[in-house]
Amino acid sequence: MHKYLFIIIAFFALTACQKEAVQPKVYGRFVPERKDDFAWENEYAAFRMYGPALRPENPSNGVDLWLKASPELIVDSFYYREHVLGLPYHINYGKGLDCYKVGHTCGAGGLVVLASTPHAEGEADSSAEDYNLYVGGPYDRWQILEQTNDKLVFRLEYDSLEVNGNILQETIIITAEAGKILNKAEVVLRGECKEELWAGGGIYLHDSVENVYTCDHCGIAAYAEDALSDKTAAQMNYEYNGSTSQGRSYLAVVTPHGGWQDIKDNTLFSVQPYQLGDTLTYFFGACWSGWSDGEQSFPTDQDWFDAIHL
């Protein structure tokens, strides 16, 4: 009898250990209950991109950011809290919050395309003033390509990215992995466009440009801002806890072979020359000054900028 009891106890102990061992660190899904969002996360931050049901509200192909307080997965709980319990995810109840405003911009690392503009003979394309900057609308189709406890790979397809009056098709494959601050984006644009193109990741600047960090030879464009730069989120958090202070939001985009970093239309970008049909690879990511994982944290802007170099 004691022998069987020992076996039963050992079985349940082993099962509990196995369950503990396979807890996912990366997660993502299509969210039909929130107008076709596609949302995902790893330990550092959560993100979402906008789908066809949101089209009447003129969203972009930009990236939204949700701040996390710890590596704990929060995407499903945030949607449940907002849409079932009526507790807005714009308020920090202790796990983090959605306080980032995207609108019709590239948001927190979305694709930006720069197309050259005509200028007088002999003039050089030497600054952002010689280019128009474009972002697209919501995605048309989604597909999860791979999903494990430590990795998520998904594809979004866009049918109508307008660049200088030309309609292009965009395919973006995003890879999120456990332990990595930056997501990987692989983009292919198809169609016809005669203008010179540059493409890469962008960050919309809600706050001072003094909080920008760039590195030309390593392709880094990073940014830090007041987490409650959006007035609506600031007011909601003030009404809930009497404070408009929620620390700092940190963002970064990286093109892997240097590229061009600059600011145009209040958008910080890191881009490379681009030919239609080619695969463009860039990286983007974010975190929060209120995030921590054991001894790891980013209490200051400089801590974040330093981390992107690693």
Range of the domain at 200: 23-309
Write down the pTM of the prediction: 0.91
Question: What single DSSP character describes residue 91?
Answer: S
Domain assignment present for residue 4? The answer is no
Domain assignment present for residue 208? The answer is yes
List pLDDT tens digits, range 178-237: 999 999 999 999 999 999 999 999 999 999 888 999 998 999 999 999 999 999 999 999
Cβ-Cβ contacts under 8 Å for 171 (sequence gap 6 or more): 155, 156, 157, 158, 187, 188, 190
Distance CA 62, CA 123 (A): 32
Domain assignment present for residue 128? The answer is yes
Residues belonging to the chain = 310
Phi-psi region of 32 (alpha: psi -120 to 50; beta: other; left: phi over 0): alpha
Residue 55 has pLDDT above 70, yes or no: yes
Residue 304 has pLDDT above 50, yes or no: yes
Distance CA 168, CA 278 (A): 13
User: CA neighbours within 13 Å on the CB side: how many for 171?
Assistant: 10
Q: Classify residue 151 by burial, with Cβ atoms within 10 Å: 0-12, 13-18, 19+.
A: middle
DSSP string, 157-180: EEEEEEETTEEEEEEEEEEEETT-
Higher pLDDT pick, 124 / 43: 43
Q: Which two tokens stand for residue 251?
A: 């963002």
Domain assignment present for residue 196? The answer is yes
Domain assignment present for residue 14? The answer is no
Average pLDDT value for the chain: 92
| pLDDT value for 274 | 97
List pLDDT tens digits, range 232-284: 999 999 999 898 899 999 999 999 988 999 999 999 999 999 999 999 999 99
Q: How many CB atoms lie within 10 A of CB 308?
A: 21
Confidence tier at 8 by pLDDT (50, 70, 90): very low
Question: What single DSSP character describes residue 122?
Answer: T
Give how many domains the chain has, as a whole number.
1
Going by C-alpha positions, the residue among 63, 65, 54, 51 that lies closest to residue 112 is: 63
The CATH code of the domain that includes 98 is 2.70.98
Q: List residues bridging with 273 in a β-sheet.
A: 198
| pLDDT value for 129 | 87
Classify 181 as helix, strand or coil.
coil
Contact 60, 104 (CB under 8 A): yes
Domain assignment present for residue 263? The answer is yes
List pLDDT tens digits, range 107-147: 999 999 999 986 544 455 558 889 999 999 999 999 999 99
Alpha helix (H) residue ranges in the chain: 2-21, 75-83, 231-241, 301-309
Percent of the chain with pLDDT over 70: 90
Domain assignment present for residue 53? The answer is yes
Domain assignment present for residue 15? The answer is no
Distance CA 232, CA 62 (A): 20
Task: Report the first-to-last Cα separation within the chain, whole angstroms.
Answer: 57
| pLDDT value for 310 | 66
Residue 21 has pLDDT above 80, yes or no: no
Contact 264, 128 (CB under 8 A): yes
Distance CA 151, CA 166 (A): 35
